[in-house]
Amino acid sequence: MSTAKGFIHSVPGSPNRFAAAFMVNKLHYGFFGNMGSGVPEFACNNAKLTYDDQGDLTTTRFFWGTVGTDDISITLENGPTITGRLNMPVNPSSSLAGTGVWSAN
């Protein structure tokens, strides 16, 4: 298992979207998610991406997880996870699910 540090936060004014970014082997990886239902705004500046292979960080992926009250946890269908402690509590906690797309540059 490999890990990378980064951030994940909701997109202000878009309760169904979030953005995450990580540095993996000197490349910037972004994961942009669309959730089926809105969740309260959140931010995590100390997120951790855990993955088996850099090739797992490609294309569109289904995800599910939870946000709140103190933590965020997202699992992608092909195995990677994004976890971390929220900057501020989100109450009540919410389940989230949807699809996201990876980009790298």
Reported pTM: 0.96
The pLDDT, as a whole number, for residue 18 is 97
Q: pLDDT (tens digit, 0 to 9) for every residue of the chain, 105 residues total? A: 999 999 999 999 898 999 999 999 999 999 999 998 878 899 999 999 999 999 999 999 999 999 999 999 999 999 999 999 999 999 999 999 999 999 999
Q: What token pair was written down for 68?
A: 């709140």
DSSP string, 59-92: SEEEEEEEEEEEEEEEEETTS-EEEEEEEEEEEE
- List, for residues 39-60, the tens digit of each pLDDT value: 889 999 999 999 999 999 999 9
Domains and CATH numbers, the chain: 2-104 (2.40.128.480)
